[in-house]
Amino acid sequence: MGILDRFSLKDRIALITAGAGPLFGSSLTEALAEAGATVITASRNLEANLEYAEKLRSQGFDAHGMQLDIGDPESIDRLHDELIERFGRLDILVNSALARDGHAGGGFEEQTPEQWEKAASGDFAGLFHICRAFLPDMRKQGRGSIINISSIYGVVSNDPSLYTGTTMKQPPTYNFVKAGMINFTRHLACYYGRDGVRANCISPGGYFNGQPEAFVERYCERVPVGRMLENEDIQGAVVFLASDASSYVTGENLMVDGGWTCH
């Protein structure tokens, strides 16, 4: 098998939570579809998932939309049962979704214990539950790739100087959840590698989403490549970790950050 063949995801089934999202969720789904996978995108907004799947099918890809509330264990179980009944298995699980309202409320001084509880019960418990739901299937088939989408802010803290003169405040619950996700991924890698299941993280850098000009300028000045993350920047990483090209890679946190964390 040639090296380019090892990147092919032909005949693989991939689930991307929040895979129709307007930020990089849709880019993850598109990349896996282009690499040959059958993709299922799932989030609370079923209509948005169905519409995005139809858009991909119109381009010749095998895409489907389903519903999921990552903060609701019953919703996760329903998705698991429906997906396995419909497609027979799952080869690739990309965890990109965040629970509703878990990170609202501004900076540390404005946040409440209730918001931290929401972040933990939604994002931490949701990540645990969806992995627990699909891991037995992956172990039984002897193959699977779990890819968790973390962040640079799961590795380093925010630089407060970037926010000077703006109303932006990074909620500390986000750092809390994303850092925990990275070590949870390592746990999965250690315990299930002998069953053929690999687990890795991708930690993207800052994505432009209408932030104030002052913030964007400071960010671009600080990051070595001189710009913010674009949709295409994350696509190669997710295909690599999903495919046989990374068959000996597990427990890693792949930084896709333009060098942000290298200084």
Whether residue 36 is contained in a domain is answered as: yes
Global pTM reads 0.96
Whether residue 33 is contained in a domain is answered as: yes
Residue 111 Cα distances to 171, 172, 180, angstroms: 8, 8, 19
Number of domains in the chain: 1
pLDDT at 55: 98
pLDDT at 157: 93
Tell me the sheet residues that pair with 13: 38
Whether residue 250 is contained in a domain is answered as: yes
**Residue range of the domain that includes 115:** 3-256
pLDDT at 36: 98
Structure tokens at 125: 């418990």
pLDDT at 207: 92
Contact 35, 25 (CB under 8 A): no
Q: What residues contact residue 39 under an 8 Å CB cut-off, 6+ apart?
A: 14, 15, 16, 19, 29, 32, 33, 53, 56, 61, 62, 63, 64
Whether residue 263 is contained in a domain is answered as: no
CATH number of the domain bearing residue 58:
3.40.50.720
Whether residue 72 is contained in a domain is answered as: yes
State the 10-residue block means of pLDDT for the chain, 263 residues long.
95 97 92 98 97 98 97 96 98 88 70 85 91 98 98 94 89 92 98 98 94 95 97 96 98 98 92
Whether residue 29 is contained in a domain is answered as: yes
